[in-house]
Amino acid sequence: EWSMFALGWNWDPVKNFSAAMAYKLQALQRCNRSLYLNVSRLRQLPTTELAAYLRKCFDYGRATMYATSSMYSACLLHALRYFKREQFLVLRYEDLMAMDAAATLRLLSRFTGLHLDDSTAAKARGQCQPARLRAGKQGKADAPPNAYSSSSPHAAEMLAEAAPQLEAVFAPYNALLRELLHPRLSWAASDHRKVPLSAEAKARVAGERYQRRLALRRRQVSRRVAQIERAAEVRSR
C-alpha cells in the first residue's frame, strides 16, 4: 500500500519505507500505549472496547494506514465476535496474485453459493488476470502491475532495511492470526526479500518510474483543468 501511495500516486511525501512505517507505528503507540503490540490484552477486551480501539487507533482502515491495515488478526478478532469462522474466506495477497482469475472467481462462487457462468469466468481472465500470469514468452506483462514497489530501483534495499524490525512487530499479530484461522497460515522470510538490481537495471527502472509519474501528473493536471473549466462554465450561465 505504501508503495502505491508514495511511489505510484505520489500522495505520501515519505519516500523511505522504514521511515513511513516508523511514523505509523509511533502513531499507533501514542493512540493506546497499553494495547500497543499487546495481543494477549487485546484478546481480553470486551467487544465494545475492542470496537472503540479499532475505530480510534486503526482509523477505520483508511488510506495510508500502512501498519494497522496489515494487522489482520486484530480486525478478524473483532469480526469473529459476530460471525462464525466458516463464514470467512481468507486468501493471502501473495497467493491471490499467483491464482488464475477465473479459478479465483470459481472459488468465490463455491464459497458463497453464487452462480458463475463460463462466459463471466472467461471475461475475468481477460480483464482481471494478475500481471505475472499475463506475461508473455518474453516475461513481460501486457499491462503495468499495481505493485508499485516493483517500480522502485531501491525496493530490495528498503525491504532489507525494514524487514527485521517489522517481522518482530508483526510476530504476535501473525501468531494470533494462525490461532484464529489455521496454524499453517504464515509468511516466510522470502516473502519480504527482493534481489537487488544491478546499477544498469536501477537506472532503467528509475527512468521508467519517472515517465510513469510524469504521465500521472499530466493526467491529474488535465483532470483539474477540466474541473475548473466546467465550474467556470456553470458560473457563467
Question: 127 or 115: whose pLDDT is higher?
Answer: 115
Which of the four pLDDT bands, split at 50, 70 and 90, describes residue 148?
Answer: low
Q: What is the mean pLDDT of the chain?
A: 85
Report the share of the chain in percent with pLDDT over 90: 42
Q: What letter does residue 149 receive in the DSSP assignment?
A: G
Q: Residue 142's pLDDT is what?
A: 46
Average pLDDT over every residue of 200-213: 82
Q: How many CB atoms lie within 10 A of CB 222?
A: 10
Specify the amino acid at residue 212: R
Q: Residue 118's pLDDT is what?
A: 87
Specify the amino acid at residue 121: A
Contact by Cβ (8 Å): 77, 174: no
Contact by Cβ (8 Å): 156, 195: yes
Summarize pLDDT for 191-200 with one digit per residue, the tens. Answer: 777 888 888 8
Summarize pLDDT for 72-114 with one digit per residue, the tens. Answer: 999 999 999 999 999 999 998 888 888 888 889 999 999 999 9
Contact by Cβ (8 Å): 17, 159: yes
Contact by Cβ (8 Å): 101, 66: no
